[in-house]
């Protein structure tokens, strides 16, 4: 009887050991390493190039505001809208539907504020729309799309529209060239051109 019980015990231990081995293998894979957590998939080269082209137009718009050139600002804004609208946002559907929907909502906000800028005749009002575009781009838009491009910098002016009325913008360089006060401000002239600081770095994860 003891011999039979011993054999049964060995069989039970064998079965348990087999399933434990199979379960461990399924978790670790052939290489014996744990599977990494799911992350956003990489974008295509076309997606990344489209983002870079749109931001190039954004930087031209920013430079136009530095120079208080409303004509150039609107030209750059029109090009920005066209290029921003060309980003193949459908690629985000390969991640999760919620991500795609949220990113598309911010995409629409960016375009809406850019369209508003084109309707303005006063440079201060244009700059306010530029502020809104910048706020929609980061952290909102770039925070969602798993940005993979060149390093950029979120910069801030604490008195863009007067005392305690701050505004952000995105720059491709660390150097601060203020698009809200610029080179030709009616009160400060060029003395506030470098007013501001780097608030954050936008970089590939």
Q: Which tens digits make up the pLDDT trace of 49-91?
A: 999 999 999 999 999 999 999 999 999 999 999 999 999 999 9
Question: Mean pLDDT lowest for which of 119-128, 141-150, 193-202?
Answer: 141-150
Does position 196 have pLDDT exceeding 80, yes or no?
A: yes
- CB count within 10 Å of CB 199 equals 13
The domain spans of the chain are: 45-202
Do residues 126 and 113 lie in contact, with contact meaning Cβ atoms separated by under 8 Å?
no
Question: At the topology level of CATH, where does 45-202 sit?
Answer: 1.20.120
Crossing angle of helices 123-135 and 45-66, in 10° steps, is 150
Do residues 126 and 117 lie in contact, with contact meaning Cβ atoms separated by under 8 Å?
yes
pLDDT at 42: 85
């Amino acid at each position: 009887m003891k011999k039979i019980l011993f054999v049964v015990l060995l069989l039970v231990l064998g079965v348990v050991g087999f399933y434990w081995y199979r379960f461990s293998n399924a978790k670790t894979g052939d290489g014996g390493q744990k599977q990494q957590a799911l992350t956003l998939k990489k974008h295509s080269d076309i997606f990344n190039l489209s983002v870079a082209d749109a931001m190039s137009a954004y930087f031209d718009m920013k430079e136009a505001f530095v120079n208080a050139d409303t004509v150039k600002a609107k030209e750059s804004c029109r090009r920005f809208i066209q290029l921003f609208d060309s980003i193949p946002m459908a690629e985000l559907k390969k991640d999760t539907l919620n991500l795609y929907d949220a990113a598309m909502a911010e995409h629409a906000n960016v375009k809406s504020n850019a369209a508003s800028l084109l309707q303005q005749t006063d440079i201060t009002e244009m700059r306010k729309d530029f502020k809104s575009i910048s706020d929609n781009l980061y952290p909102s838009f770039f925070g969602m799309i798993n940005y993979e491009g060149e390093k950029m910098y979120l910069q801030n002016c604490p008195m863009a529209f007067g005392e305690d009325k701050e505004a952000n913008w995105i720059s491709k360089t660390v150097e601060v060239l203020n698009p809200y006060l610029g080179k030709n401000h009616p009160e400060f002239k060029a003395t506030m051109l470098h007013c501001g600081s780097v608030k954050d770095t936008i970089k590939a994860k």
